[in-house]
Structure 1
Amino acid sequence: MLQTVPGSGEFDDGAAKLAALRRTKFMAAASLGLCVAVFAAARSLQGRYPWLAFVAAFAEAATIGGLADWYAVVALFRRPLGLPIPHTAIIPENKDRIADNLGRFIEANFLAPGPVREKLDEVDFAALVADWLSDRERAAGLSRFVARLVPQMLDAIEQSGLRGFFARRMMEQVERVELAPLAGELLSAFTEERRHQKLFDEFTRVVGRFLNDEQALASMREKIREELPSLFNLFRADAYLLNKIVASAGSLLEEVRADPDHPMRTEFDRFVETFIERLKTSKSYARRAEKMKRDFLARPQLRDIADATWASLRSFIEQDAGAPDSAIRAHLAGMFVEVGKHLTQDAEIRADMNRGFVVALSSFVESQKSGVSRFIGDQVKRWNLAELTRLIEINIGRDLQYIRFNGMIVGGLAGLMLHSAEVLLFFD
Structure 2
Amino acid sequence: MRIIATALLLAMAGLFVVSRHFLGLHPAWGYVRAFSEAAMVGGLADWFAVTALFRRPLGLPIPHTAIIPENKDRIADTMAVFLQENFLTPQVVARRLSGMNAAAAAGAFLSDPQGGEGRLREGAANLFADVLESLDQEKLGGIAKNALRTQLEKWQVSPLLGNLLGAAIADGRHMPVIEALIRRAAMTLEDNEDVIRAMIHDRANTLLRWTKLDERLANAILDGLYKLLAETVVVPDHPLRRRIEDGLEQLAHDLVHDPQMRDRVERMKVEILANPAFGQWLDALWERGRTRLLAMVREPEGVLAGQLGDSLAELGRALETDKRLQILVNRFARRTLVGVSSRYGTQIVRLVSETVRRWDARTVTDRIEGAVGRDLQFIRVNGTLVGGLVGVAIHTVDIWL
Q: TM-score range by the shorter chain?
A: 0.3 to 0.5
Q: Radius of gyration: which is bigger?
A: 1
TM-score (norm 2): 0.45
TM normalised by structure 1 equals 0.43
